A and B are shown apart, each in its own frame.
Chain A
């Protein structure tokens, strides 16, 4: 605890323990997402005083950890907003990392008494939710937008709270694209499970009315195609994003899926009839295309207007090709 004119303030450590790392991994895989929070309010890092800077952040524990680990050797305050355990960027989009919450927390923590200056440092990605001039109107504190990434905070402070253009830019490198893949996959797990069940039932339909053997054999193949498409759209497309030609995610995903489809068709060419091969070559790229299109929600550069335009064009094509693949697939059971 650190004593302040406004009462004692808990001290946040700048080291990350094994439990924090474990928590981060389970978070990546979408487990227990909702319970990973930090209590909102004011925290001290090192030995801050009246002149020390105030860094504002969200109460998602991964965000809080990412910030505090970058603060070794600094004496600063951290003001944690209640964003219901959501990261800065997503919370800003929803408005929970917002003007009102900043004003409310500044008042609740009695910052006017804790520090003598009137300045808050907000993460730049909180901008969509916070109106800097409205915060000043609401509580008298000025808002300075810090860098996008916590790793630049030291350099930012050392430069007298000035960010280089590089610190202000969102780039989406491979590391970040890969980090999203687990969550995407986990999110697709359930719908894919239900879809597989339907596919297994459909797979039984054939000349002998309904055959368990055929259901298993052909259903498995269909589920594999589905899995391949998901792999293409949720893993291969994000990884190859800069190198896949085109701008539209549906096109990039179709291409990534197409590569997988051609490979698997070549691999199984003896086992596949012509109809089944056609179904595979159609279905896998279409699924990949659809999944990739949904990946737009996780990228930091796709505009809603663009996604809407892309969907209006891509969805009808995807639907038509899916129907065609279905006809070939079912047809393949009768004509062998």
Chain B
């Protein structure tokens, strides 16, 4: 069996093709094969597989990727709600 899927249409991943230099880092670090680089540009293959770990954005030297990172953890989110803050991880 291939990897799991979670909810569709929620990932906060944003990618700016104009800024991308095609270095390939995002493809290298993503644990869910969200990116593929071909002909000097990265491309999002399947955004719904993104788990918002933030690895691609942190490692993109061109600043072409943004994502709201965190752990997808119900306990942490509930703590965030209770303490009135955005969930911090």
Main secondary structure of the interface of B (DSSP, over half): loop
Chain B CB within 8 A of A208 CB: no
The listed residue (A129, A132, A133, A303) touching B6 by CB distance below 8 A is A303
A-B Cβ contacts below 8 A, count: 129
Q: Within the assembled complex, what's the spacing in Å between the Cα atoms of A127 and B49?
A: 17
A282 at the interface (CB under 8 A from B): no
Please give the residue numbers on chain B whose beta carbons come within 8 Å of chain A beta carbons, in ascending order: 1-8, 10-12, 25, 28-33, 49-56, 58-59, 61, 68-78, 87, 89
Say yes or no for A7: interface residue by CB 8 A criterion. no
Contacts of B58 in A (CB 8 A): 127-131
Chain A interface residue bracket vs B: 35 or more
Within 8 A of B (CB), among A306-327: 306-311
Instruction: Give residues of chain A (286-320) contacting chain B, Cβ–Cβ below 8 Å.
Output: 293-294, 296-311
Known: A305-B52, A305-B72, A306-B10. 9 other contacts (CB 8 A): A94-B89, A125-B31, A168-B30, A169-B32, A297-B71, A297-B72, A299-B4, A305-B68, A306-B6
Q: How far is the CA of A247 from the CA of B72 in the complex (A)?
A: 14
Q: Does A5 contact B (CB under 8 A)?
A: no
| A248 touches B (CB below 8 Å) | yes
Shortest distance in angstroms between B63's beta carbon and chain A's nearest beta carbon?
10
Q: Is the CB of A127 within 8 A of B75?
A: no
Complex Cα distance, B50 from A124, in Å, reads 16
Residues of B within 8 A of A43 (CB): none
Decide if A165 is an interface residue (CB 8 Å cutoff). Answer: yes
